Amino acid sequence: MHPFAQVILDGLFTGSTYALMAAGLALILGVVKVVNLSHGAFFSLGAYVAYVLSAKEVSNNPAAAVLLACVIAFAFGVFLGKSFINPVRSHPFSVAVGSLGFAILFEQAAQMLWGPHPVSIGSGPPWGELSGVVVRRWGAVSLLASAGILGGLALFLSSRWGLPLKLISEEEEIAGSVGIDVEKYRYLTFGFAAAAAAVAGALLAPATSITPTMGRVPLILSLIVVIASGMENVLAIFLLAMGLGLLSNISAYLLAPQWSHVSLLTVISLLLLLRPAGLSSTDPGRDD
């Protein structure tokens, strides 16, 4: 085994899990322009869908879990976007508190349905070895999925179908004046973002311990990625997520595990101090 090469590969895999969660969050921040603190709950929902399918021996096929999680989360997301987010979106604190409330409600519901104890799904063997470096199955799945989702999102936004979203993101009033149903696009975006988080949860479920509160950590990390990279540039989100994944794993290996979080937050704080509007923004955005 080459320990450092293994740490580098694992760091890329870790970064891809941040990117996977950040994709949906960036969409919400860019289009709906709210901080959605219920995003982690959709991640947990996806994981529980995968668990139920596996535990009830319905299907161990990740594709089935991904599909079902996607449909359920999309429906929930649209409902939440239409009934709660849209009516109060001009009040950012209300949105933050309300979406946090939804996340806590979901945690309580999950606890009542599946119990407070952690549950788990078999993770299977690794995919293989490359010159003594182990390719972790769920790491590779995460890397491919994040590249696929973010790549798909970038393609969509650059196509003519993505134009309404770009217009809403940049000039909401103009979008409305040219006949775009802004409200509809907002709640559909919320639904898609929820579905993306649930897909991440369903894909990564076998690699984790599934608990009602499992979405809290990914929420914070993906929020960090989106805010630090800026929500306009999909490639910047992907690259920053990868960089942070590498930083997290290398510092844990070279220093100590508890340094992974500290080093990650230190770098993010410095980045935000220099470029509060995010890395990809052309405007540094500093107030001084």
Residues that bind other proteins in the complex, under the rule CB under 8 A: 1, 3, 6-7, 10-11, 13-14, 107-108, 111, 115-123, 125-126, 134, 136-137, 139, 207-209, 211-214, 217, 220-221, 248-253, 256-258, 260-261, 264
What is the DSSP code string of 11-70? HHHHHHHHHHHHHHHHHIIIII-S--TTHHHHHHHHHHHHHHHHHTTS---HHHHHHHHH
How far apart are CB 3 and other proteins at their closest, in Å?
A: 5
We find the least distance from the C-beta atom of residue 13 to other proteins, in angstroms, to be: 7
Q: Which is nearer to other proteins, 5 or 75 (CB)?
A: 5
CB of 188 to other proteins, least distance (A): 33
Measured distance CA(193)–CA(91) in Å, rounded: 20
How many other CB atoms sit within 10 Å of the CB of residue 142?
Answer: 25
- Residue closer to other proteins by CB (options 146, 248) is 248
By beta-carbon proximity to other proteins, the closer residue of 134 and 182 is 134
Nearer Cβ to other proteins, position 47 or 188?
A: 47
The distance of Cα 130 from the centroid of its chain, to the nearest Å, equals: 28
Task: Give Cα 3 to chain centroid, integer Å.
Answer: 28
Can you say how many angstroms the Cα of residue 158 is from the centroid of all Cα atoms in its chain? 21
State the minimum distance, in angstroms, from the CB of residue 220 to other proteins.
7
Cβ of residue 1: shortest distance to other proteins, in angstroms? 7
Nearest distance in Å: CB 152, other proteins: 27
Residue 272: which residues within 8 A CB-CB, separation 6 or more?
227, 228
Nearer to other proteins, 208 or 281 (CB): 208
Q: Please provide the DSSP assignment of 216-273 as one string.
A: HHHHHHHHHHHHHH-SS-HHHHHHHHHHHHHHHHHHHHHT-THHHHHHHHHHHHHHHH
Nearer to other proteins, 77 or 218 (CB): 218
